[in-house]
């Protein structure tokens, strides 16, 4: 009996699959070799405040530029005017992977518009 010959479509799908598998493995090897093992490097930045349901919310972007994951990341966001703190709120991110960003929202009673907004990392844990 003769084996059926593979047509061009089968060979094309095989070649595409092979390229994807080899490319993925190459990326993972390169990523593992260039990982420096730096501890979490966490920063927090505030966005534009807006009014919502009788309070004011402020978007906060938290970034981890390090090579290690951080857990229980505590962020403090403060409204101040002329160096005097008007209102402070805190929130916690359970998990912040390495080289990633997460967005959260801080809620205030007072209107932060026209005042200084500051976000800072208070604490975190390494797993």
pLDDT single digits (tens) 67-90: 899 999 999 999 998 888 999 999
The pair phi, psi for residue 55, each rounded to 5°, is: -135, 180
Query: Do 53 and 72 share a domain, yes or no?
Result: yes
Residue 99's closest CA among 72, 70, 64? 64
* Count of domains forming the chain: 2
Query: Do 58 and 27 share a domain, yes or no?
Result: no
pTM: 0.72
CATH number, position 69:
2.60.40.10
How many residues would you count in the chain? Answer: 127
Query: Do 25 and 50 share a domain, yes or no?
Result: no
d(CA 43, CA 75): 9
pLDDT digits (tens, 9 = 90+) for 48-65: 999 998 899 999 999 999
Query: Do 73 and 114 share a domain, yes or no?
Result: yes
Query: Do 11 and 56 share a domain, yes or no?
Result: no
Full residue range of the structural domain in which residue 25 is found = 1-34
């Amino acid at each position: 009996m003769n084996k059926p010959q593979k047509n061009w479509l089968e060979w094309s799908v095989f070649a595409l699959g092979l390229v994807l598998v080899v490319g993925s493995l190459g990326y993972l090897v390169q990523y593992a070799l260039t990982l420096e093992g730096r501890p979490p490097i966490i920063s927090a930045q505030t966005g534009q405040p807006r009014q919502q349901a009788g309070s004011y919310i402020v978007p906060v972007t938290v970034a981890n530029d390090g090579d290690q994951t951080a857990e229980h990341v505590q962020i403090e966001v403060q409204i101040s005017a002329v160096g005097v703190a008007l209102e402070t709120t805190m929130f916690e991110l359970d998990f912040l992977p390495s080289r990633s960003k997460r967005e959260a929202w801080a809620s205030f009673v007072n209107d932060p518009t026209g005042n200084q907004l500051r976000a800072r990392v208070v604490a975190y844990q390494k797993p």
